[in-house]
Amino acid sequence: MQGLPILRLAAATIVLTVITSVLMLIPDWNGEQASTAAADIDRLLDVAIVLSSFVFWIVMVPLFYAIYRWRAKPGDEGDGEPIHGNTRLEIIWTVIPTVIVLGLAGYSWVVLDDIEASEPGAIPITVTGQQFAWSFTYPEQNVQADELHVVEDRQVEVTMRALDVLHSFWVPEWRIKRDAVPGAPGASIDDDFVVTPDRAGEFSLVCTELCGLGHTTMRAPVVVHETRAEFDRWISEQDPIPSDQPEPAGSPAS
Amino acid sequence: MTSALTSPGWWRGLFYFLIGAGFGFGLVIALRAISGLDLYQTEPTGYPHIVVPAITGPLGFLIGIGCFDYWFRWCAGAPTIPDDHADHGAKTWKDYFKVNTDHKVIGIQYIVTTFFFFFAGGFLAMLMRAELAQPGTQIVDPGVFNGLFSTHAALMIFVFVIPVFAGIANYVLPLMIGAPDMAFPRLNALSFWMLPIAGALFLASYFVPGGAFDAGWTGYAPLSTGAPLGQSFFNLGVQFAGASSVATALNFLVTIITMRAPGMTIWRMPLLVWANLSTSLLVVAATPFIAGVQFMVLFDRVLHTNFFQAAFGGDVISYQHIFWFYSHPAVYIMMLPGFGIISEVISTHARKPIFGYRLMALALLGIVILSYTVWAHHMFVAGMFEWLRVPMMITTLLIAVPTGIKIFSWLGTLFEAKIHLKSTAMLFSLAFIVTFTIGGISGVMLGMIPIDIHVSDTYFVVAHIHFVLFGGSVFTIFAGIYHWFPKMTGRMYDERLGRIHFWGTLVGTWGTFVPMHWIGMEGMPRRVADYAAEFGNWNLMITVSAFILGAVQLVFLYNMIVSWRYGPKAGPNPWRAKTIEWQVSSPPPIFNFDEIPRVVGGPYEFGVPGARHAIMAGEEAEVKRPEPSRAGIGAPS
């Protein structure tokens, strides 16, 4: 492969990677951040974007260079160089991607542990999905509502319940999603997760698992209060959990 | 008239269909009458008097059209009619509508049938995009919309992408390995005829009470176990498509293992053969899982078993495990044959040996093994055992390594090459590398659990699947169709129309599926008929691009039909390729070879002086290079 401008190709790859990375890091792809998990996940996404830009250009630069440089002249019926392979190159492009993806896996694992870490004093809430509405019970406060209210900077420990089919809990600004699965108490369903909202305001809970005719409109308001006092005031205005209501399968994780 | 009803064919097929359906209907009614039940059970999930005939009717059709005649005679010990090969080869177009045992006829039957379903599924996509062009409900209500995306995906996956690869390989693979036909020609015919039944069942669901199945192509329980009658048609359609797949895969395995021409060692097999070997290994072991799980859903619906009924101790999440244990390997079932096509096209049009051929073959096998170990990455937020997530993430990301090997090896093949861009097949192959790289990148992102938690079940996933399935698989399908069109028809397609189709498809694909990434990350869930107004502009752009993408496929259809009839003669080897299928006439003679060729070298020995892949009958002594045919290489330059 004499005459291959390796340095210039490498430079082009790096320059294009830098430009693409910078451009791709400008938009807030995932939108507003409103939980402690959001910043972690978005940072992971940024790392993935930079590495992806590199992977993209390390494929595209050689591809377009080859098409530019070795395009057959009109009327040229000859063959290319009979090169069958290059063991060193093949080892390189096996090992380097392995290292990259294992690095991404390791970092993802760290982020996963971070966003799933429990904090003391979390507020337990049971979220119940039912065609086509959400309901929320606050076992500690003995209150039930059809809006999700939480407190800024206070972790909530959510337990998912489904009464009919699968539903899925998603607040995009929190970056957190989990399916609600119908099941008997104690079934091997991982039904609880934690999230710590860190921005007061109003958001929307979106059902993201196809659940039938009303799936499109199955949403619920989410309110993050600035203070615990505001939250308590709202709690005091809600109805208590009806005593005759069958406890949704399984008691909330405590 | 009696002879029409006693000899194989459409009349007997229709007649036996009616007998089969009538038998099924009568059986249900009789059993219910004996049991003292209402004759007609019309719970939405029930309708046994329709579900059972939907099984027995198609089986009757298969018997009637003649798929089993030889076997039945054999089983009964009756004297078999000596095979005069009357059902081999096609003399007129009518022969394509009969049970035929010729792999070339079956290949074309497969391709034409699957493209019919491609256009049907595409039409459903156009309706969906029309509804989604603006926020609000304009054209279809949410119930119909759920049916549209479910049937769109079922048609595209089960009766287009998976079987069209089987069709291309059916035509090309026996020629490539120097075999006169597939190992089991009658089984091959049966495999094909089960396919239109699967597609017909999917489409028929539009005409039953409750409308088309609408629980998504994933058919998650318990939405699917409680869905109206149409869902049973999905359950059954998958059985026919799956049985067709498994039978074909067995056929490919036996053909590849036992019928290669003398001298074709495994390291001399073209990569398309390697790819279909790998794919078939996936199909035979994975497909029974989806067949099983769809039967479990059907039994829950009709027989009141409780596989997935949580209230009666069923386990809802196990549906997803079994489903994805097939459906993730299925992603590679839909991609590996495409990898094979790309290797053939790039090597031929770059006039170079495939770079790192052995590692390319081993990468395919690596993907086969890894792809059985990643299924639960579809379930990171499903509430499954949490300890299963991280191992599945690691295997998921590792599968990028053999995939990367393939991409880099194609790049290596292009270096120091003589790249010809005249063929539309080559354009699609190069564009495939670009789009599939993007699909691979978004796949790695989806494999990272924290990112997946956010974008799971959003338009980001829709974008990813279409980048790998449309920008990936379908691009390779187009590359394959254009590449072997001259071999299959003996005629050349119009490269100018091919280029219009290519550029329109490329622009349409990017315009449609790139913005889907963005709106998904921003918060638009998938499988919704309506969405927040903030996504309106992007959705309008997606719809316009999708219409371009849809319209330009009509150019392809026109090009194929007109060129098949009127295209200039192609000659045996318009691309000057080395593999065996190009060393016989176009289309090849019945039984392919007068004498089985002898393989003496690798399949891609471009530029190696004096190297040959195979020596054909009659050219034993003089190893003279055949006169390269110029016909149809493209527009005059």
Residue B353 pLDDT? 95
CB proximity A62 to B under 8 Å: yes
- A77 within a domain of the structure (yes/no): no
Residue that wins the pLDDT comparison between B236 and B617: B236
Instruction: Give the span between the Cα atoms of B336 and B252, in whole angstroms.
Output: 14
Measured in residues, chain A has a length of 254
Q: What are phi and psi of A70, to 5 degrees?
A: -115, 25
Provide the residue range defining the domain that includes A128.
Answer: 123-236
Whether the ipTM is more than 0.85: the answer is yes
- A252 within a domain of the structure (yes/no): no
CATH assignment at residue A218: 2.60.40.420
Looking at the structure, tell me whether residues A129 and A109 fall in a common domain: no
Burial B155-173 (b: 16+ CB within 10 A, else e): bbbbbbbbbbbbbbbbbbb
Looking at the structure, tell me whether residues A11 and A91 fall in a common domain: yes
User: Starting from the edge strand earliest in sequence, which strands make up the sheet with A176-180, in order?
Assistant: A148-151, A219-225, A201-207, A167-171, A176-180
Q: Chain A partners of B444 at a C-beta cutoff of 8 Å?
A: 48, 52, 101, 104
Q: What is the mean pLDDT of residues B481-487?
A: 97
Looking at the structure, tell me whether residues A161 and A97 fall in a common domain: no
Task: Indicate whether A85 pLDDT > 50.
Answer: yes
Of the candidates A79, A46, A132, A116, which has an alpha carbon nearest to the alpha carbon of residue B607?
A79
Q: Chain B partners of A216 at a C-beta cutoff of 8 Å?
A: 142, 528-531
For chain A positions 122-151, those within 8 Å of chain B (CB to CB) are none
Residue A239 pLDDT? 86
Residue A245 pLDDT? 55
The answer to whether residues B23 and B56 touch, using CB atoms and an 8 Å cutoff, is yes
Instruction: For residue range B122-152, list pLDDT tens digits in order.
Output: 999 999 999 999 999 888 999 999 999 999 9
Of the candidates B252, B242, B243, B244, which has an alpha carbon nearest to the alpha carbon of residue B280?
B252
Instruction: Give the span between the Cα atoms of B456 and B450, in whole angstroms.
Output: 10
End-to-end CA distance of chain B: 57
Of the candidates B114, B165, B182, which has an alpha carbon nearest to the alpha carbon of residue B337?
B165
Measured in residues, chain B has a length of 637
- Residue A177 is nearest to which of B412, B418, B453, comparing CB atoms? B453
The answer to whether residues A126 and A141 touch, using CB atoms and an 8 Å cutoff, is no
Instruction: For residue range B86-119, list pLDDT tens digits in order.
Output: 778 888 888 899 999 999 999 999 999 999 999 9
End-to-end CA distance of chain A: 66
Residue B630 pLDDT? 44
Of the candidates A205, A239, A199, A240, which has an alpha carbon nearest to the alpha carbon of residue A128?
A205
Q: What are phi and psi of B591, to 5 degrees?
A: 65, 15
Percentage of chain A lying above the pLDDT 90 cut: 81
Question: How far, in Å, are A237, B87, B444 from residue B389 at the CA level?
Answer: 41, 52, 15
* C-alpha distance from A237 to closest chain B C-alpha (Å): 30
Residue A75 pLDDT? 86
Looking at the structure, tell me whether residues A148 and A99 fall in a common domain: no
Q: How far is CA A89 from the centre of its chain?
A: 35
Looking at the structure, tell me whether residues A151 and A218 fall in a common domain: yes
Task: Indicate whether B617 pLDDT > 90.
Answer: no
Looking at the structure, tell me whether residues A131 and A108 fall in a common domain: no
CB contact under 8 A, A82 and B384: no
Q: What is the mean pLDDT of residues B58-66?
A: 95
Looking at the structure, tell me whether residues A217 and A141 fall in a common domain: yes
CB contact under 8 A, A52 and B441: yes
- A74 within a domain of the structure (yes/no): no
Looking at the structure, tell me whether residues A22 and A62 fall in a common domain: yes
The answer to whether residues B452 and B380 touch, using CB atoms and an 8 Å cutoff, is yes
Which of A115, A131, A153 terminates a domain? The answer is A115
CB contact under 8 A, A175 and B453: yes
Looking at the structure, tell me whether residues A30 and A99 fall in a common domain: yes
A63: nearest CA in chain B? B411
Q: Chain B partners of A48 at a C-beta cutoff of 8 Å?
A: 444-445, 448, 451
The answer to whether residues B68 and B62 touch, using CB atoms and an 8 Å cutoff, is yes
CB contact under 8 A, B418 and A105: no
- A158 within a domain of the structure (yes/no): yes
Categorise residue A86: left if φ over 0, alpha if ψ from -120 to 50, beta otherwise: beta
Task: Indicate whether B260 pLDDT > 90.
Answer: yes
* Residue of B231, B389, B421, B455 for testing the chain A interface, max A β-carbons within 10 Å: B455
Instruction: For residue range A185-232, list pLDDT tens digits in order.
Output: 666 788 899 999 999 999 999 999 999 999 999 999 999 999 999 999
Please report which residue ranges of B45-184 form alpha helices under DSSP H. Answer: 48-65, 69-75, 103-132, 142-156, 162-176
Q: Chain A partners of B393 at a C-beta cutoff of 8 Å?
A: 105, 108-109
Residue that wins the pLDDT comparison between B250 and B609: B250
Q: Chain B partners of A83 at a C-beta cutoff of 8 Å?
A: 352-353, 355, 412, 415-416
- Residue A166 is nearest to which of B223, B313, B419, comparing CB atoms? B223
Looking at the structure, tell me whether residues A109 and A38 fall in a common domain: yes
Looking at the structure, tell me whether residues A56 and A92 fall in a common domain: yes
Of the candidates B13, B155, B121, which has an alpha carbon nearest to the alpha carbon of residue B550?
B121
B158: which 2 tokens? 């089960």
- A80 within a domain of the structure (yes/no): no
Q: What are phi and psi of B181, to 5 degrees?
A: -170, -175
- A185 within a domain of the structure (yes/no): yes
Which of A99, A115, A131 terminates a domain? The answer is A115
Q: What is the mean pLDDT of residues A130-137?
A: 94
Report how many domains make up chain A: 2
Instruction: Give the span between the Cα atoms of B233 and B205, in whole angstroms.
Output: 6
Q: Chain B partners of A177 at a C-beta cutoff of 8 Å?
A: 381, 453-454, 456-457
Percentage of chain B lying above the pLDDT 90 cut: 85
- A212 within a domain of the structure (yes/no): yes
Instruction: For residue range A39-61, list pLDDT tens digits in order.
Output: 999 999 999 999 999 999 999 99
- Residue B628 is nearest to which of A29, A66, A77, comparing CB atoms? A77
Instruction: Give the span between the Cα atoms of B324 and A202, in whole angstroms.
Output: 36
- When the pLDDT of each residue in chain B is averaged and rounded to a whole number, the result is 93
Instruction: Give the span between the Cα atoms of B175 and B188, in whole angstroms.
Output: 16
* C-alpha distance from A199 to closest chain B C-alpha (Å): 18
- Residue A188 is nearest to which of B311, B385, B458, comparing CB atoms? B385
Looking at the structure, tell me whether residues A215 and A128 fall in a common domain: yes
For chain A positions 67-126, those within 8 Å of chain B (CB to CB) are 67, 70-72, 74-86, 89-90, 93-94, 97-98, 101-102, 104-105, 108-109, 111-112, 115
A113: nearest CA in chain B? B450
A184 — pLDDT class (breaks 50, 70, 90): low
Q: Which of B188-197, B469-478, B607-616 has the lowest mean pLDDT?
A: B607-616
Instruction: For residue range B394-413, list pLDDT tens digits in order.
Output: 999 999 999 999 999 999 99
Q: Residue B629 gets which letter from DSSP?
A: P
A221: which 2 tokens? 């308001």
* Residue of B521, B605, B637 for testing the chain A interface, max A β-carbons within 10 Å: B521
CB contact under 8 A, B529 and A216: yes
- A148 within a domain of the structure (yes/no): yes
Q: What is the mean pLDDT of residues A127-146?
A: 94
Instruction: Give the span between the Cα atoms of A125 and A231, in whole angstroms.
Output: 13
Between β-strands B614-615 and B598-599, what pairing exists: parallel, antiparallel or unpaired?
A: antiparallel
Q: How far is CA B228 from the centre of its chain?
A: 27
Instruction: Please state the three-class secondary structure of B515-580 as a single string.
Output: HHHHHHHHCCECCCCCCCHHHHHHHHHHHHHHHHHHHHHHHHHHHHHHHHHHCCECCCCCCCCCCH
B77 — pLDDT class (breaks 50, 70, 90): confident
CB contact under 8 A, A81 and B417: yes
* C-alpha distance from A152 to closest chain B C-alpha (Å): 20
B334 — pLDDT class (breaks 50, 70, 90): very high
Cβ neighbours of residue B183 closer than 8 Å, sequence gap 6 or more? B251, B254, B255, B258, B259
Instruction: For residue range B555-600, list pLDDT tens digits in order.
Output: 999 999 999 999 999 999 999 999 999 999 999 998 899 899 999 9
- With vertex at residue B531, the alpha carbon angle to CA B529 and CA B533, rounded to the nearest 5 degrees, is 140
- Secondary structure element (H or E) that encloses residue A67, with its range: helix A36-69
Residue B619 pLDDT? 74
- Residue A48 is nearest to which of B311, B400, B445, comparing CB atoms? B445
- Residue A89 is nearest to which of B412, B419, B433, comparing CB atoms? B412
A88: nearest CA in chain B? B356
Instruction: Give the span between the Cα atoms of B524 and B535, in whole angstroms.
Output: 8
Task: Indicate whether B626 pLDDT > 70.
Answer: no
- With vertex at residue B571, the alpha carbon angle to CA B566 and CA B574, rounded to the nearest 5 degrees, is 105
CB contact under 8 A, A29 and B522: yes
- Residue A67 is nearest to which of B215, B316, B419, comparing CB atoms? B419
- With vertex at residue B411, the alpha carbon angle to CA B410 and CA B417, rounded to the nearest 5 degrees, is 95
